[in-house]
Amino acid sequence: MADSKLIVTPAPHIRGNIDTPSLMRDVVIALLPACLAGVYFFGGKALISLVAGVAGCVGAEFVFERMSKKPVTIGDWSAVVTGLLIAMVLPPHVPAWIVVLSGVFAIGIVKLLFGGLGYNVFNPALAGRAFATAAWSALAATGYIWPASAQGAAWARGIDAVTSATPLTLLKMGEIGGTSMSRFYMPLFLGNVAGSLGETSALALLIGAVYLLWRTHISLRIPMSYIITVAVVTALYGQDPLFHVLSGGLILGAFFMATDYVTSPINAKGQVIFGIGCGVLTALIRLFGGYPEGVAYSILIMNAAVPMIDRFARPKRFGEVKARA
């Protein structure tokens, strides 16, 4: 932060040596395992997607900040993080120009027009994805493929036409789910399934999440309350909770996007409320909504609710008593 001289909390303060670039670099490092897993499963097209996402975001940040004669902040790595995340939440075989334009939208409209890093209301990467899927829905939907090493048709039980559907889409269409789902746990955990570029491999994502936790950049409050809520709600509805936790973008969203400092509540109580809200919305969209997956939209919806949550979860001042009616 440039104006770190402004200190608003009461003393004492501990000064750390964490600044925005080092934090964002750590997030990039934490995302790398999942990116590599995406490239491993989906091939060179995934690499092009990742490069396109980063190029679109960093390029847009540079051009727009130059145009508005503001200091250029591409050095803080936050645009790189947004770029990687956009590529990771879009299908692997989506055309590269869609990834670039989503990045331009995410940075130009969602981040910079709201005032830049620290002021954006919505997570830029998720808003970029929402933009891409709403703008070019047909192209975005056909971008899902099965890794060459996986037997997509085996999942679909002989129905060839749905090989580009993700596990959650198959579940929604009733192709799977009639019998025990435990045979799907391993491929879902490793990432050997169809899905967005960076969301399939729970293992790789968890490695990155452990790194962020070890560096104390994130806490477990939002991810855990989010994931547990999804598991509980889906279990109550009689579906396999572990399948729901491992599939789709839940782990990516819970650890890397719902925990975004800017768009999540400030204190612990608010963060738990935020996580539970995301979880309930995700489960509701998956179980009853029109879309097979709801992680992106539920986090965006809860982003909008963050100011209200912060208001409710405000800690009591010392000596404060409840006002009597």
Partner 1 sequence: MSSPLQAFTNGIYKENPTFRLLLGMCPTIAASMAVSNGIGMGLAATFVLMGSNLIISLLRSVIPSEIRIPCYIVVIATFVTIVDLVMNAFLPQLHAVLGVFVPLIVVNCIILARAEAFASKNGPGASIMDGLGMGIGFTLALIVLSAIREPLATGVVLAAADFGFDGIRLFPQRYAMAIVNQPVGGFITLGLAIGAVNLITAKKKNKGSRGAQGGAGK
- Shortest distance, CB of residue 307 to partner 1, whole angstroms? 20
- Shortest distance, CB of residue 131 to partner 1, whole angstroms? 6
Residue 8 burial (10 A CB sphere; 0-12, 13-18, 19+): exposed
**Cα(233)–Cα(248) distance, rounded to whole angstroms?**
16
- CB closer to partner 1 out of 131 and 256: 131
**Cα(214)–Cα(174) distance, rounded to whole angstroms?**
40
- CB closer to partner 1 out of 65 and 175: 65
Place of tokens 């995934």: 46
Tell me how far the alpha carbon of residue 221 is from its chain's centroid.
16
- Shortest distance, CB of residue 63 to partner 1, whole angstroms? 15
The contacts of residue 168 (CB under 8 Å, 6+ apart) are 247, 248, 286, 292, 293
Residue 315 preceded by cis peptide, ω within 30: no
- CB closer to partner 1 out of 109 and 254: 109
- Shortest distance, CB of residue 226 to partner 1, whole angstroms? 26
The contacts of residue 162 (CB under 8 Å, 6+ apart) are 156, 169, 170, 173, 175
Where on the chain is the footprint of partner 1 (CB under 8 A)?
68-69, 97, 109, 131, 134-139
Where does residue 19 fall: left (phi above 0), alpha (psi -120 to 50 degrees), or beta otherwise?
beta
- Shortest distance, CB of residue 204 to partner 1, whole angstroms? 31
- CB closer to partner 1 out of 68 and 219: 68
**Cα(273)–Cα(54) distance, rounded to whole angstroms?**
32
- CB closer to partner 1 out of 45 and 215: 45
- CB closer to partner 1 out of 134 and 321: 134
- Shortest distance, CB of residue 199 to partner 1, whole angstroms? 22
- Shortest distance, CB of residue 261 to partner 1, whole angstroms? 24
* DSSP conformational letter for 109: I
- CB closer to partner 1 out of 105 and 211: 105
What are residue 8's phi and psi, to 5 degrees? -105, -10
Residue 318 burial (10 A CB sphere; 0-12, 13-18, 19+): exposed
- Shortest distance, CB of residue 113 to partner 1, whole angstroms? 8
- CB closer to partner 1 out of 140 and 285: 140
- CB closer to partner 1 out of 43 and 95: 95
**Cα(143)–Cα(81) distance, rounded to whole angstroms?**
22
What are the contacts of 318-323 at 24+ separation with CB within 8 A? none
- Shortest distance, CB of residue 135 to partner 1, whole angstroms? 4
**Cα(43)–Cα(210) distance, rounded to whole angstroms?**
26
